[in-house]
Chains A and B, each alone.
Chain A
Amino acid sequence: MSIKGKACLAGAYEHPTRKAENKSVAQLHAEVAKGALDDAGLTKQDVDGYFCAGDAPGLGPLSMADYMGLKLRHLDSTDTGGTSYLIHVAHAAQAIALGKCNVALVTLAGRPRSEGHSGTQPRTFAANLPDAPFEAPYGIVTTNSYAMVAMRHMHEFGTTSEQLAWVKVAASHHAQHNPHAMLREVVTVQEVLDSPMVADPLHRMDCCVVSDGGGALVVTRPEIAKSLAGQMQRPLVKLIGAGEASKGQAGGNLSLTTSGAAWSGAAAFAEAGVKPADIQYVSIYDSFTITVVVQLEDLGFCKKGEGGRFVAGGNLISGSGKLPFNTDGGGLCNNHPGNRGGMTKVIEAVRQLRGEAHPQVQVKNCGLALAQGTGGQLGTRHGSATLIMERG
């Protein structure tokens, strides 16, 4: 059984805030839920499936479901970090295909910026984590974890800081057109290289922003989406392939330059029956510039080790490059709500397929898009998820 064509993305909403000092996290969940339901043309009463990750307030989905007054027959709080929301869309499609729900709501919200979080601080370790005693003493944080991946990628394949910088340059070219983006200034490769070194070899501009906010998605049965799209006079966004995977340290047999995207991507492409060359737009999780390079290789957009050369020279810039990516400005320039960027990856892919991206970055006749997420840390253990969506 496949989820191909069994579910559609009927609603998508990105919270415009980037700093929510005077709001609660639960309130942000409600705001994005309302936004996505309005976008879909549905109401709270239509929702019978709900998805959030482990960072939502309360025990799994229970507090949020109660807070928003949802009457549910399907609940899922799968947490794989920032990539959770892509997995939620895939699981929603599975539930819909099995008749377990008709209208699934997925929400994300967080306030790391107001709460003073940064990527150079250690994670909070739960007392019984098996890996933490062998990692926490050494000061593993988000930045140096990804930096070790970049260092190894440079060592194995000759990837350069200039090549990584092109990922940020492309994102900044897109962000200039997004009025909500945190960083709207177009930057050059030299400016990326001149920004302060955070964790060798990653500069400040190789790192994503820290932002408050959130987003939500509504996934429905195709008949419902079709009727709503008709009312709204806009194209249908169909899910045609999905894959998920996790990858870790393999008991000490490390291979840091390959991500779980090699597995989740292959599964999604097989289910969708398409190949990388068919994809017209990609949303690629960009916690750091290196994250994009590794995932593009693993998804098959170029060979392993050639990601640096692939992204160089503006190849990811919409309008001039061969593979337009993150046309909202991505996590590098626009938004990384709750330190979890998977949600915004799906939202921008939906905008592209509907033709609702900013005209300056809209891909012409965008009919096939891919969204890719990684959550956790590439340098230790991470979740990966790939979605392939088609305009219908």
Chain B
Amino acid sequence: MMERKIPAPAVNPENRPFFDAAANGKLVLKFCNACEQYHHYPRSHCPHCFSSDTEWLDAKGSGTIYTCSVLRRGVPVRYCIAYVTLEEGVSMLTNIVDCDLDTVKIGMKVKVVFKPTDGGPPVPMFTPA
């Protein structure tokens, strides 16, 4: 089967630690020390309380599918986009991979895997746990 080419993320000074961690097989999240909440995607300033006292923490790498959809038309290889709600409470946009896409459902338990991109760092995706 043809593999889908995954576009490389645009790495910048603010998000670089996320993709450096991904290159080492780790999923990290931003945590705000002021309001003690996680957020995603990661920012320098917490989007909840706007404190700049945010730090990178290792995530457990497991979660539940919040929603998903398989794109079937207009693309050379079909793929499943999803939001996964991590154990830490935040939801992240991702792909569900390495499984029969027709069996992917909301509520399914998933775990992180890292997939190479086209000329950039790997990105976190999820597969049934």
**Which A residues are within 8 Å of any B CB, using their own CB?**
118-122, 125, 127-141, 143-145, 147-152, 155, 196-202, 204, 249-254, 256, 380
- Given the known interface contacts A128-B12, A198-B72, A250-B47, the answer about A151 and B93 at a Cβ–Cβ threshold of 8 Å is no
A-B residue pairs in contact (CB < 8 Å), sample of 18: A118-B74, A130-B41, A132-B9, A133-B11, A136-B7, A139-B79, A147-B69, A151-B106, A198-B72, A199-B70, A199-B72, A200-B70, A249-B41, A250-B47, A251-B48, A254-B83, A256-B67, A256-B83
- B62 → chain A closest CB, angstroms: 15
Q: Other CB < 8 Å A-B pairs besides A133-B10, A137-B7, A202-B69, 13 of them?
A: A118-B74, A120-B73, A121-B74, A130-B41, A132-B9, A137-B117, A138-B94, A138-B95, A140-B81, A141-B71, A152-B67, A155-B107, A253-B91
Known: A148-B83, A152-B67. A131 touches B47 (CB 8 A): no
Those 3 A-B pairs whose CB atoms lie nearest each other, nearest first: A120-B74, A252-B90, A251-B39
Indicate if the CB atoms of B66 and A152 lie closer than 8 Å: yes
CA distance A138 to B122 in the complex (A): 12
- B6 in contact with A137 (CB, 8 Å): yes
CB distance from B42 to the nearest CB of A (A): 8
The residue in chain B whose Cβ has the minimal distance to the Cβ of A149 is B67
Residues of A within 8 A of B95 (CB): 138-139
> Contact check: which of A125, A135, A197 meets B93 at CB < 8 Å?
A135
Interface size in chain B (residues, C-beta < 8 A): 48
Contact between B69 and A144, CB atoms less than 8 A apart: yes
Q: With a CB–CB cut-off of 8 A, which chain B residues contact A131? A: 41
Chain A interface helix/strand/loop/mixed: mixed
Query: Could you tell me if B117 and A144 are in contact, using CB atoms closer than 8 angstroms?
Result: no
For B123, the chain A residues whose CB sits under 8 A away are 137-138
Chain A minimum-CB-distance residue to B118: A137
Partner of A254, one of B15, B66, B74: B66
Is the C-beta of B34 less than 8 angstroms from some C-beta in chain A? no
Whether a CB of chain A sits under 8 angstroms from the CB of B68 is yes
The majority secondary structure among interface residues of chain B is loop
Q: How many A-B residue pairs have CB under 8 A?
A: 135
* Residue B40 CB within 8 A of the other chain: yes
Residues A197 and B79 in contact in the complex (CB < 8 Å), given A137-B6, A253-B90: no
A141–B7 Cα distance when bound, in Å, is 13
* B15 surroundings in chain A (CB, below 8 A): 130, 133-134
A139, B69: Cα distance in complex, Å: 11
Q: Which residues of B contact A132 (CB under 8 A)?
A: 9-10
- Cβ–Cβ < 8 Å partners of A249 in chain B: 41, 91
- Interface residues in B9-31 by Cβ distance below 8 A to A read 9-12, 14-15, 19
* CB neighbours of A121 from chain B (8 A): 74
A118: chain B residues within 8 A (beta carbon): 74
Which residue of A is nearest B91, CB measured? A254
Would you give the shortest CB distance from A339 to chain B, in whole angstroms? Answer: 15
Contact across chains for B40 and A133 when beta carbons are under 8 A apart: no
> B43 at the A/B interface (Cβ < 8 Å)?
yes
A139 close to B71 (CB less than 8 A):
yes
Contacts of A254 in B (CB 8 A): 66, 83, 85, 91
Taking CB as reference atom, which chain A residue is nearest B15? A133
**What 0/1 pattern do residues 49 to 66 of B give for CB contact below 8 A with A?**
000000000000000001
